[in-house]
A and B are shown apart, each in its own frame.
Chain A
Amino acid sequence: MAASLTSTGSARLLGALARSGSLCSSSGSRALHVTAVCCKNKAARVRVGKGDKPLTYEQALPPHHIGHRKGWLSQNTSNLKGEEGAAERTIEDVFVRRFMFGTFHGCLANEIVIKRRGNVLIVCALMLQKLPPQKFYFLIGYSESLLSHLYKCPVKLEVQTLQDKAVYKYL
Chain B
Amino acid sequence: MAAPMALRRELFSLARKISGVSHLTPRALGACSSHRKCNIIRSHLPLASSTSFHTATLFLSTPSSITVTEEPDTLFQKVSLLVKGHDRAVLDSYEFFATMAAKELGININKVHELPKDMERFTLLKSVHIFKNHRVQYEMRTHYRCIELSHITGCTAQVYLEYIQRNLPEGVAMEVTKTAMEKVPDHILEPMWEDHPIDDKSSQ
A positions within 8 Å CB-CB of B = 19, 36, 39, 41, 67, 72, 75-77, 79-83, 115-119, 122, 129, 132-133, 136-138, 140-141, 144-145, 148-149, 152-154, 156-163
Contact = CB atoms under 8 A, between A and B. Distances in A.
16 contacts: A36-B133, A39-B126, A39-B127, A39-B134, A67-B86, A77-B172, A81-B118, A117-B168, A117-B169, A119-B28, A133-B41, A140-B22, A144-B24, A153-B28, A156-B35, A159-B53
B55 interface: yes
Interface residues of B, number: 42
Contacts of B26: 148-149
A80 B142 contact: yes
B55 A158 contact: yes
B138 to A, nearest CB: 9
Given A148-B28, A154-B27, A161-B53, 17 more contacts: A36-B134, A39-B127, A67-B86, A72-B87, A75-B171, A77-B84, A80-B173, A82-B84, A117-B169, A122-B170, A141-B24, A154-B28, A158-B55, A159-B53, A161-B54, A162-B52, A163-B50
- Residue of A36, A77, A162 with most chain B CB atoms under a 10 A cut-off: A77
A75 B170 contact: yes
Nearest to B24: A145
A25 to B, nearest CB: 24
A81 B120 contact: yes
Interface in B47-96: 49-57, 84-87
A154 B29 contact: yes
A149 B27 CA distance: 9
B136 A41 contact: yes
Contact of B29 (A119, A141, A149): A119
Q: What is the interface of chain A mostly: helix, strand, loop, or mixed?
A: mixed
B142 A81 contact: yes
Interface string B2-43: 000000000000000000011010111110000100010100
**5 A-B pairs with the lowest CB-CB distances in the bound complex, closest first:** A75-B171, A115-B170, A77-B173, A160-B54, A81-B142
Contacts, number: 102
Interface string B121-154: 0000011010101101000111000000000000
Contacts of A75: 170-171
A58 to B, nearest CB: 17
Contacts of A149: 26
A159 B118 contact: no
Contacts of A83: 84, 173
A140 B56 CA distance: 12
B69 to A, nearest CB: 28
A114 to B, nearest CB: 9
Contact of B84 (A80, A141, A148): A80
Contact of A76 (B50, B84, B118, B171): B171
A119 B131 CA distance: 43
Contacts of B30: 118-119
A161 B52 contact: yes
Nearest to B173: A77
A136 B53 contact: yes
Given A41-B136, A76-B170, A119-B29, A129 B50 contact: yes
A130 to B, nearest CB: 9
A163 B52 CA distance: 8
